[in-house]
Chains A and B, each alone.
Chain A
Amino acid sequence: MIGFQHYLLLATVLFAVGIYGVLSKRNAVAVLMSVELMLNSVNLNFVAINRYLVTDHAVGQLFALIVIVVAAAEVAVGLALIISIFRQRKSVNLNDFNLLKW
């Protein structure tokens, strides 16, 4: 019988895959995509909690909606930054982005 805990476990696995992608990938676009996976798993948690634990109003869905808005803004700005830095460095490898390191 599928219940609340299965949704939480699935979101945990999704988040862990996102963590692995963020820590191991060298391509800046791949890191952004992994961050999207993590945001999706958090949204799934919000909606599942709203469905199973909070029964009288839809505030979890509202939070998920606002997270989607912030994620869209984050992707737009992040990809613009990557395009802008690609123009200078001719690379999307995170190891080449060391302008602010010394």
Chain B
Amino acid sequence: MNMNDLVFIVLGFITLLGAVGVVSFTNIVHAALSLVLSFLGVAGFYFQLQAEFLGLVQIMVYAGAISVLIIFAIMLVMDRDPNQTNISHPVNRWWGGLIALLFAGIIGFAIRESRFTGQAGSPDADRVGQLAELVLGNYVIAFEIAAILLLVAVVGAIILAKGAKEQ
């Protein structure tokens, strides 16, 4: 076992622990903090996969902005005892667990049986430069539409949360 495998195991443990915490904590504030742990684990995977730019974006956008937004929203809509805010539906939890297990089993089996061809890229490739050329080159329309989408989403979120004035 070399260093790379050890890092993968530790990061996978952190990520899955956070993910399981999201669905198992009965206090939703704890679930949100657990979600941050999972986001940080995924950011670590991005660093390990030589996507440093995406790792930093993940930390800033997910672990920074989205988690703060979620925690603020939780505090605005708290309507009962905090320890009862993240309970599962008594019937649907069994169906949900069954469907999730079936999904993981089928896809996991398919992955095990598949043979993937291709080689790992060289570790010193300039991925950030390639990403910049793609974003401002062939995919510039998607980039601009993403900008417009963010603007529309911000305006829409403000109007929805503030409530339109009755005419």
Contacts and interface: CB of A to CB of B under 8 A. Distances in A.
Secondary structure dominating the interface of A: helix
Contacts of B65: 72
Interface in B46-71: 46, 49-51, 53-54, 57-58, 61-62, 65-66, 69-70
Contacts of A82: 73, 77
Contacts of A68: 54, 57-58, 61-62
B135 to A, nearest CB: 6
7 shortest A-B CB distances, which residue pairs?
A23-B96, A73-B153, A24-B96, A55-B121, A80-B160, A16-B104, A53-B118
Given A25-B88, A44-B45, A65-B57, A10 B73 contact: no
Interface residues of B, number: 85
A64 B54 contact: yes
Contact of A76 (B69, B108, B119, B121): B69
Interface of A: 1-2, 4-10, 12-27, 29-30, 32-34, 36-37, 40, 43-44, 47-48, 50-59, 61-62, 64-66, 68-77, 79-84, 86-87, 90-92
